[in-house]
Chain A
Amino acid sequence: MSKTFKRSKTARLIMMVPAAGMVLAGCGEKPVEVQVFNTPDECAAYYNPPAECKAAFAEAKALHPQVAPRYASKQECETDFGSGQCETAPVLAANNSVATGSSEQSQPQSQQSSGFFMPMMMGFMAGQMLNRGGMAGTPQQQSAATNRSPVANQPLYKSRDDRGTFRTATNTPVASQPGATSIRPSAVQPKPATMARRGGFGAQAAKRNVGSYGG
């Protein structure tokens, strides 16, 4: 007869115990392969399925107004990106989450101008592409849990003084020609350009000043 215990079978820690701690990000991060293109047609010409090229482009395009750097004037924007290379930035709709690769995010952006300017999108990065033949590089090995690339499909830009280089919205250079390139996912993580209000929770803690807010 087996005894029934009233306690947990194990009590293991993986994060709180430093010796067995996990590398969460940073220097241990492995580079992954992505592809960059000027247009969806160019993407398809690199032996990629056209439908996937279009989908990746659409995701990047939807992300563009959310992550593109914002400038108070057209002139300031053109100083960085060149004459005629900037457009007005729309007001972002409420609850508009930044797509990190999901296609449901391609809803139309509000056309109302925010009064800000942003560079035009000059290309896109495809984080994951099922290659038709394998010429443009082997697709990245995916973890079974997500089955998604750690890299979001995203817009790319070109600066005024360096028209050959594709850059992310946060000005990270990623490639100087179309096709496959290797990057660290954390370096190309898209970030919203919108400013958040902060500090809206915690006032009662500051006021009461006790050791714990549990009980």
Chain B
Amino acid sequence: MKRINSNPRPGWKAFAESVGFNFHTFDGEPYWDETAYYQFSLEQIEQDLEQPTEELHQMALDLVDDIVSDEQKLQQLAIPPRFWDAVLASWRAKEPYLYGRMDFSYNGSGPAKLLELNYDTPTSLYETGFFQWVWLEDQLMRGELPQGADQFNSLQDKLQQAFGELNLAQPFYFASVTESIEDKGTVDYLMDIALQAGLNCRYIQLEQLGDIDGQLVDLDGFPVHGLFKLYPWEFMLQEDFAGTILTSQTQFIEPLWKCLLSNKGILPLLWQKYQGHPNLLPAFFDDGSSLQNGWLRKPLLSREGANIELLTAEGKTFKQDGPYNDSGYIRQQLAPLPKFGDSYTLIGSWVVGDSAAGICIREDNSLITKDSSRFIPHIILD
């Protein structure tokens, strides 16, 4: 695993905007950054990332079975008791799922360490599946990359296959928060792939979803029988239409039971069940005591690195503020992100259905990866 400086494609920004990538720059700072790329060996990809991703995925699914009928665990994950039966029913009915992403700390050798699961609303999908792919093809064509370079990125192929096989209700609706262009970009990308898979797709702003007698409906009042929602379950379960979730004849992607896996409480539960697994870090539910060196504390429910408190092995504290301070916390042993040059590097590893489907790399100037962290493409070359 190496970081290699690279010449960006001339005019890539205009190209990005022409293909719907309107969030390539974040508050004036680059989000998509092709001034460098990471290079992996095929062995690193297959043995250190792909195989553990699929194994950890199966371990997480096995754990769901333990949680759904265990009140203590449901309580530890702060699932509102009103929804326990629905979560159980959703799992027992084997409600299908589309995708997820796990984040790893990995420096090219030794086991990748699982930092967390993003199993409900993972983003940076378009950047990974499409824009990173096009970058590789373009740079191969321009001779900027060595011939024979490949990429661990079968995301779009696998998503299209999944949309074709999931047997989703039609028309199938996609919803995201109105104000977020990043989320709209992600949803547009998924809709585009679903269209190519032959689905009848419609977009609806999340806030425009209606309720008629307990049924979710679209703007014309038609029932929404299938819905991809780029909006966290833990929010939906506490909003005005929370009750609608219990009565509406709607197939959700991701399904309700995924609220168990997108919860950071899954990390201590994984450690309880699989203590010592090479890809897991010791993790516990937080007891409120002060952090020890080499540990970090993060909320059960948070996103984009928000509300994380971290103490390095040397005792240096890093804290990231954010809007997710209203849930319980877990603590996890620190696996510091590797440093390449001035950047700390995190690897996101995608899962579609039950298959590992590629990686994305995020860089930040701090140990905590955030929404604003740069996206760097990668290649495989032996």
Contacts and interface: CB of A to CB of B under 8 A. Distances in A.
Contacts of B196: 12, 14
Interface stretch (B54-62, B126-134, B275-283): B126-134
Contacts of B358: 6-7
Interface residues of A, number: 49
Contacts of B206: 201-202, 205
A214 interface: yes
Contacts of B151: 6-7
A94 B215 contact: yes
A213 B380 contact: no
B240 interface: yes
A15 B211 contact: no
B220 A210 contact: no
A209 B214 CA distance: 28
A147 interface: no
Interface in A1-42: 5-19, 22
A98 B231 contact: no
A13 B156 CA distance: 10
Interface stretch (B90-98, B105-113, B182-190, B266-274): B182-190
Interface SS of chain A: helix, strand, loop or mixed? loop
Contacts, number: 196
A18 B207 CA distance: 26
Interface stretch (A46-54, A81-89, A116-124, A188-196): A188-196
B230 to A, nearest CB: 6
Interface stretch (B69-77, B116-124, B329-337, B339-347): B116-124
A8 B192 contact: no
A192 B241 contact: no
A17 B20 contact: yes
A200 interface: yes
A192 B221 CA distance: 6
Contact of A8 (B133, B186, B210, B380): B133
21 contacts: A6-B151, A7-B133, A7-B150, A8-B129, A8-B157, A9-B157, A15-B192, A16-B188, A92-B212, A95-B247, A95-B248, A200-B209, A201-B207, A201-B229, A201-B241, A202-B177, A207-B323, A212-B371, A213-B180, A214-B182, A214-B186
B154 A194 contact: no
B25 interface: no
A92 B198 CA distance: 33
Contacts of A209: 323
B240 A203 contact: yes
Given A16-B188, A198-B208, A213 B235 contact: yes
B45 interface: yes
Contacts of B297: none
- Range of interface residues on chain B? 35 or more
Contacts of B134: 11
A215 B222 contact: no
A95 B214 contact: yes
A97 B304 CA distance: 38
B5 interface: no
A6 B150 contact: yes
A107 interface: no
A191 B221 contact: yes
Contacts of A100: 222
Contact of A211 (B152, B230, B371): B371
Nearest to B224: A97
B51 interface: no
A202 B204 CA distance: 13
Contact of A15 (B157, B188, B212, B231): B188
Given A205-B231, A207-B323, A214-B230, 8 more contacts: A7-B358, A11-B130, A100-B222, A192-B217, A196-B221, A198-B208, A200-B211, A212-B304
A60 B211 CA distance: 24
Contacts of A207: 323
B153 A7 contact: yes
Nearest to A95: B215
Contacts of A194: 212-213, 221
A135 interface: no
A15 B153 contact: no
A69 to B, nearest CB: 13
B377 to A, nearest CB: 11
Contacts of B231: 201-202, 205, 213
Contact of B221 (A7, A13, A98): A98
B256 interface: no
Nearest to A92: B213
Given A210-B323, A214-B186, A215-B303, A8 B156 contact: yes
Contacts of A9: 157
A108 interface: no
Contacts of B155: 8
A192 B222 contact: yes
B261 interface: no
A212 B183 CA distance: 6
B314 interface: no
B18 A98 contact: no
A201 B212 CA distance: 14
